[in-house]
Amino acid sequence: MNTARQQAPGEAAAARRRTPLDILMNSGLGKLLRGIGIAPRQDSGESLLDLADALLSLRGRASGPALASAFFDLYEASDVAARQEFLAKIHDRHPADGKAIDKAIAKWQEKRDDASALALNQASESVSRRLINQLNLAPQGTRRLIDMREDLLAVPKGAATEGLAALDRELECAFIAWFNAGFLELRRIGWDSSAELLERIIQYEAVHQIQGWEDLRRRVEPADRRCYGFFHPQMPEDPLIFVEVALTAEVPGSIHAIISEEREGIRPSEANCAIFYSISNCQVGLKGIPFGNHLIKRVVGLLKKELPHLRTFATLSPVPGFAKWLAKEQGKDADGSATAPGASDLRRLAARYLCEAKGKGNQPLDPVARFHLGNGARLEAIHANADLSANGQKQSHGVMVNYLYELSDIEANFFALTELGTVAASKGVQSLLDEPEGGNRKANGKKAKSKSKDALAA
């Protein structure tokens, strides 16, 4: 006998209209919340705050993960304004407990032992950090916290507050610990990887756009092509960062040689070089958590093991800030609309830009140079007409460069950059810098602050 009750007209629609908050409050958890005097209000920015309070007061109880899950259901069903309102208020809602800190300091001054040091540490732990740890217990908690930080980073600069900055610092600190490279899995991504993962690779590629499935296939399937990513156990089909590698006979001087449809493949046994030609961070919410350095070094290690005959590990990299810098040098609008000089002049100017132009903290101005040189690589070669795509022309007048990863030199290169402000550059690049001034160079008499490997070793 069918005992199912017929739904009255409109009942189904009413059920559909029930918000995640209604559902929560009608569940066992809702009863528990009411039992401890917490009754979230309907306005979702406020009810998120109420639910966060409940989570904090339920510390240590078995219902924590279920409540964390309910919190995220409500958070994700809220519009971006309500989500950001919650983020703006939550940190300030729970200021540090000054009395508890004073008491712990007094105890530390009296005893100066491990127990009082630990008590001081606990007393000064921010409530936001506790909340983050509680939320991480929800199903997919880490992934959902990353998305939450993406919301936080999207708050317009004008609306930034100290509370938001403090919450961001707490999230960043938690992520630095959870995404320590030691916990991450390095995996090869191939044509046989899941469709979900491959779709994400197309979406996340930030350097040389992937023009659909066939283009992707050319980058991950042939024996002389590799793609590797770092994965977190909670996000097995969603990479944190990935790098595309070409196995080649020689170090290439143009991107066409690597991604063109007509290129002729080689057998891995014939390859001398592993060329990193595209590395992309994937998760906006993990901004500031560095993975790239570890990824490149781990991939070099892996390839050396698999193909011990490989001699050269280098990149073929864009120079994204070059056209803008050149326009400024030439006194044109800083929109990159400078007239491009001839090829040899371009290489000389690019050498100056990469070795001498400095930004914040006296670091290389170009973001990609900052990344590779900061990893201890050496600026090896500069190529004109190397990226003829519209984007390549716009950002660097077609210039691309090779950074060389010579594992034995990495520490010295890094030291020279950070301690002396000196860019490690090959003899070829050095000679570009030494060419007499002319054309567009401003006569400022500045001496090149870069050294060849040999000069550094001397």
Ligand X SMILES: CC(C)(COP(=O)(O)OP(=O)(O)OC[C@H]1O[C@@H](n2cnc3c(N)ncnc32)[C@H](O)[C@@H]1OP(=O)(O)O)[C@@H](O)C(=O)NCCC(=O)NCCSC(=O)CC(=O)O
Binding site for ligand X (CB under 6 A): 206-207, 243, 276-281, 287, 290, 292, 315, 317-318, 320, 367-368, 371
Of 253, 422, 227, 420, whose CA–CA distance to 343 is shortest?
Answer: 253
| Rounded distance between C-alpha atoms, residue 41 and residue 21, angstroms | 9
Q: What is the nearest approach in angstroms of ligand X to the Cβ of residue 410? A: 15
Residue 35 in tokens: 């039992």
Q: What is the nearest approach in angstroms of ligand X to the Cβ of residue 311? A: 18
Of the pair 39, 206, the CB lying nearest ligand X is at 206
Q: What is the nearest approach in angstroms of ligand X to the Cβ of residue 363? A: 10
Q: Beta strand pairing status for 241-248 and 317-318?
A: unpaired
Q: What is the nearest approach in angstroms of ligand X to the Cβ of residue 365? A: 10
Using an 8 Å Cβ cutoff, are 189 and 217 in contact?
A: no
| Rounded distance between C-alpha atoms, residue 143 and residue 147, angstroms | 6
Q: What is the nearest approach in angstroms of ligand X to the Cβ of residue 255? A: 10
Cα-Cα-Cα-Cα dihedral sign, residues 20, 23, 26, 31: negative
Distance of CA 130 to the CA centre of its chain: 24
Of the pair 348, 370, the CB lying nearest ligand X is at 370
**H/E segment holding residue 201:** helix 195-204
Tell me the chain's radius of gyration from C-alpha atoms: 27
| Rounded distance between C-alpha atoms, residue 240 and residue 217, angstroms | 21
Backbone angles phi, psi at 9, to 5 degrees: -55, 140
Using an 8 Å Cβ cutoff, are 247 and 226 in contact?
A: yes
Q: What is the nearest approach in angstroms of ligand X to the Cβ of residue 395? A: 7
Of the pair 46, 414, the CB lying nearest ligand X is at 414
Find tokens 């977190």 and name the residue: 232
Q: Cβ of 132: how many Cβ atoms within 10 Å?
A: 21
Of the pair 86, 277, the CB lying nearest ligand X is at 277
Of the pair 66, 300, the CB lying nearest ligand X is at 300
Torsion of CA 49, 54, 57, 62, to 10 degrees: -140
Of the pair 38, 186, the CB lying nearest ligand X is at 186
Q: What is the nearest approach in angstroms of ligand X to the Cβ of residue 276? A: 3
Query: Helix (H, G, I), strand (E, B), or coil: what is residue 398?
Result: coil
Q: What is the nearest approach in angstroms of ligand X to the Cβ of residue 41? A: 37
Of 62, 42, 38, whose CA–CA distance to 52 is shortest?
Answer: 38
Of the pair 49, 429, the CB lying nearest ligand X is at 429
Residues 6+ apart with CB under 8 A from 436: none
Of the pair 234, 280, the CB lying nearest ligand X is at 280
Residue 123 in tokens: 């007393």
Q: What is the nearest approach in angstroms of ligand X to the Cβ of residue 282? A: 8
Of the pair 75, 178, the CB lying nearest ligand X is at 178
